[in-house]
Amino acid sequence: MYKKYMSPLCVFLCNNQLEYDQILKDTENAKYHRFFILSSNKIIRNNLEHKNTDNFMTYAFELLRMDVISRLVTCYSHPMYSHILIFLRSTTDFEIEKNNFSDNEFFQNKNCIGFTRQYVALNGFAFDPAEVEMPLDPVLYAQELTKALSEQPVEQRIFVEALKELLPHCQFENYNNLSELSDDIKSVFNLKYKKSSTLYNVLYEPKVEKFTNAIVFSFSNLDSYKFAIKRNDGLCCYIF
C-alpha cells in the first residue's frame, strides 16, 4: 500500500473550459488538494465553485515537456505536499494511481505521472514526454459530430461529444450505479447534472418497453424516442 502519511497534491491540465468544468465537478468531493493548470486565461473560473485550498496557474503547457510542467508545479506549490500526481487525462482515478507509490518514489503511465519532492530533488525532472492523443481536425470533428446528431454510427470519442451536445442540464438518477457505462460517459452526466425539477432516469438494457423522461443505453432498436446517438459497436443512447 502507499504510504499513509503521504500528503498528496493532484494536478489537472485543462485545455479548455469544458475540461476544466468537468474535472472541477468530478473531483469536488475529493479529500486531496487540487492544482489546476489552465492553458489559457480565456478559461473562466467563476462559473462553478472552487475550494479555498485549490491552486491555479495559467500556462500554455505542452505534454511533450513534462519536465517543465513538473518543475513549475514543484516550485509553485507548498512544500507540505510530499507527493505530487499530474493527471494527463480529463478522467482520473486517484484511488488507483496513489497505490503506484507503494514501492516507488516515481511512476509514469499514460494517465498519470507521480513523484515525491525527495525524488526530484535527488534525480531532477528528466521525465519522458506524455503520450498525446491527437485531436481531430476541426473540419473532420464537425463532420463526425454532424453524423452523430444524424443518428449515424460514430466512434466512442464522438459518441461522448454528441452526448454533451444533447443532454440537458438537469437531474439524472442511477447512472453512477451502471457498471456498463464507461467513465467518460458518466463524466458527461456529472457535468450536466444540476438540481432541477426536470429529472431523467438513466437505464442500461432495461426490460420495460415504455419510457418517460429516461436516458436509455441499449443495443436494441427502440422507437418513439426524441433523440438517439449510435456508436460503431451498436450501442445506442436514446433520449425519451
Angle at alpha carbon of residue 133, lines to 129 and 134, rounded to 5°: 110
**pTM beyond cutoff 0.85:** no
Percentage above 90 pLDDT, the chain: 29
User: Which one of 123, 152, 187 terminates a domain?
Assistant: 123
Same-domain pairing of 115 and 52: yes
| pLDDT tens-digit readout, 173-207 | 888 888 888 878 887 888 788 888 889 999 999 88
In this structure, the answer to whether residues 98 and 180 fall within a common structural domain is no
Rounded CA separation 89/160 (Å): 15
Q: Which of 15-29, 53-67, 128-142 has the highest mean pLDDT?
A: 53-67
Residue 168 belongs to a domain: yes
Judge whether 102 lies within some domain: yes
DSSP 73-95: HHHTS-TT--EEEEE-SSS--HH
Shared domain check, 111 and 151: no
- 118 and 144 in a single domain? The answer is no
Residue 98: inside a domain, yes or no? Answer: yes
Rounded Cα distance between 181 and 195, Å, is: 22
3 falls within a domain: no
Establish if 68 belongs to a structural domain: yes
**Domain stop point among 67, 100, 123:** 123
Residues 6+ apart with CB under 8 A from 153: 147, 230, 231, 232, 234
At residue 1, does pLDDT exceed 60?
no
Asked if the structure places residue 131 within a domain, the reply is no
Domain count, the chain: 2
Q: What proportion of the chain, given as a percentage, has pLDDT over 70?
A: 92
The reply to whether 153 and 117 lie within a common domain is no
Distances (CA, A) of 236 to 141, 152, 158, 165: 20, 10, 13, 15
Same domain? 114 vs 15: yes
Q: Clarify whether residues 27 and 74 are in a common domain.
A: yes
**41 with 16, same domain?**
yes
The verdict on 186 and 95 lying in the same domain is: no
Residue 115: CATH number of its domain: 3.40.50
Confidence of residue 209 (pLDDT cuts 50, 70, 90): confident
On whether residue 129 sits in a domain, the answer given is no
List the one residue out of 97, 45, 102, 35 whose CA is nearest residue 69: 35
Average pLDDT over residues 79-102: 85
What is the extent of the structural domain holding 26? Answer: 8-123
- 109 or 89, higher pLDDT: 109
Q: Final residue of a domain: which of 65, 100, 123?
A: 123
- In this structure, are 16 and 109 located in the same domain? yes
**116 and 152 assigned to the same domain:** no
Tell me, yes or no, whether 154 and 117 share the same domain. Answer: no
